[in-house]
Amino acid sequence: MGNTEITAIKKEIRKLIFQRRKDADPEAIVRDSAAIMEQLYATDAYKNASCIYAYMDYNKEVMTRALCERAWADGKTVAVPKVHGKDMIYYVLTTFDQLEDGYFHIPEPAYGEVADCEDALMILPGVAFDRNRHRVGYGGGFYDRYLEKHTQHVTCAVAFEFQLVEEAPAEPTDIFPQMLITEKQIYS
């Protein structure tokens, strides 16, 4: 499969999943996000992590504010990304007041200390996944570039079952999460 073909397939998958997200019941998003997070909290990866690198959800993604609050309550450091050019830098988040409208209107920290926890549990978003944890991102390559340079993170993607596809095409630069948690199952 050539790059042009992979790009076209990913584009079609994104279109399909964005429509499913648009059609998703807001109450189901809240309920299923909570179910996903409960499964995450029960993992050794979460229990053993002193630092959680989370994303701030946007537009019917798996919701992460409860994760940040739980991690704070559990005495963990929380950090979230901010886009700088083609790269992401994680900043320690101590309050949601640090957030402002950022890249593509995704909440980002307006200020804060740069996080340097190289063995953090990193929670990854994605548009679509398959059961082998292949990930179709948003197309910017931010997480792949970040994880190429920061190789010690334990990686866990979170997604709704409706984001699963039969097969997500993979390119050599794609980095797969070690674990994928949906409201129904953990894939690892």
Over 80: is that where the pLDDT of 86 sits?
yes
The pLDDT tens digits of the residues spanning 169-182 come to: 877 777 789 999 99
pLDDT at 1: 59
What pLDDT digit, counting tens, does each position of 96-120 carry? 999 998 887 889 999 999 999 989 9
pTM of the model: 0.92
CA distances from 73 to 51, 70, 94, 122, 136 (A): 12, 5, 11, 18, 32
Reading the block at residue 12, the tokens are 């079609």
AA identity, residue 141: G
